[in-house]
Amino acid sequence: MSKSKQGASKLGRGLSALMADINVSETPAQQTMPDTPVRGPGVREIPIEKLERNPAQPRRHFDKAKLAELTESIRQKGVLQPILVRPLPASYGVKGKKIEGRYQIVAGERRWHAAQAAGLERMPALVRDLSDVEVLEIGVIENVQRTDLSPLEEARAYQSLISEFGRKQIEIAEAIGKSRSHVANALRLLSLPALAQDYLEAGKITPGHARAILAAPDPVALAEQIVSKGLSVRAAERWVHMAAHADERACGSAGRDANIQFIERKVSQHLGMKVRINHKSPGGKMTITYTSLDELDELVKRLRGS
């Protein structure tokens, strides 16, 4: 087994156990254990003021309508599912006063916000000693599996796992139950111009629009066209084709077949890599660009059908 597979398997086993902890039976908060030291598995009630959010939490935005619905549910029935937290080391506040007994939220921040809005003073939580990488990975997996992250939040979370903790794309893909091409395509969104990222974050463009923008000769101009004129994804792709043909004509090129460009785009999306086809009847050449040995390894596996 390759090191990548071993790492992913270890990651998957560890997080599976933790995620199982998060999804314990939905017991009303009133029936949980009191806030006293416990050892091993078990749920305890913790005062809400002792809990704080994790600044590295992938999700930054919460749907206000859904949060209001959850708040009302908690107000009526209590918190049915415990959140996952880790103990924080003691800190020192004003005048050197020692602050102890605080916890950082690992999974369940939305429930915490809703519980505060519902006026609860305590809420059920599982306490686990977790490393920074485990906290980030759990945050990514919990949100991605529940489709709670925006496309850019998801991409930034994957990038954090890669840049800060040395995770490979294939490890992330296997841990979250997605394809490696899904992870690669998500990461490509981080290459969007800042303006396009703002539009995507605000919901003014879709990930489909974003893929067209990434292929455009002038990404910012296309992003502005999509928003100002309300272009569909297909219309944005046609804009890219027209702009590409205009560039080729300006360079004295005879132009490229739209069908070939369509195939390039589909193969690129499937592989998560840049593909270029140079067709000269009756044959031609296809070039696939990879950016890392991991991508090359994945490409070889796909071509071999393994």
Instruction: Give the residue numbers marked as catalytic.
Output: 109
Residue 44 has φ and ψ, to the nearest 5°, of -130, 160
Is the CA virtual torsion 265, 262, 270, 279 positive or negative? negative
Instruction: Give the C-alpha separation, 158 to 180, whole Å.
Output: 11
Burial class (CB in 10 A: 0-12, 13-18, 19+), 207: middle
**Segments in 98-179 forming alpha helices (H):** 109-117, 132-145, 151-165, 169-176
Instruction: Give the C-alpha separation, 213 to 220, whole Å.
Output: 8
Residue with tokens 């209590």: 78
Residue with tokens 């600044």: 55
**Which one, of 50, 45, 51, lies nearest residue 122 by Cα?**
45
**Taking CA 90 as the corner, what is the angle to CA 95 and CA 135, rounded to the nearest 5 degrees?**
135
**C-alpha dist (Å) from residue 28 to 43, 82, 90:** 11, 9, 30
Instruction: Give the C-alpha separation, 270 to 33, whole Å.
Output: 49
Q: Which amino acid is at 198?
A: D
Count of Cβ atoms closer than 10 Å to residue 208 Cβ? 13
Is the CA virtual torsion 172, 173, 177, 178 positive or negative? positive
The tokens describing 265, both together, are: 């785009």
Which residues are CB-contacts of 210 (< 8 A; sequence separation ≥ 6)? 151, 189, 192, 196, 200
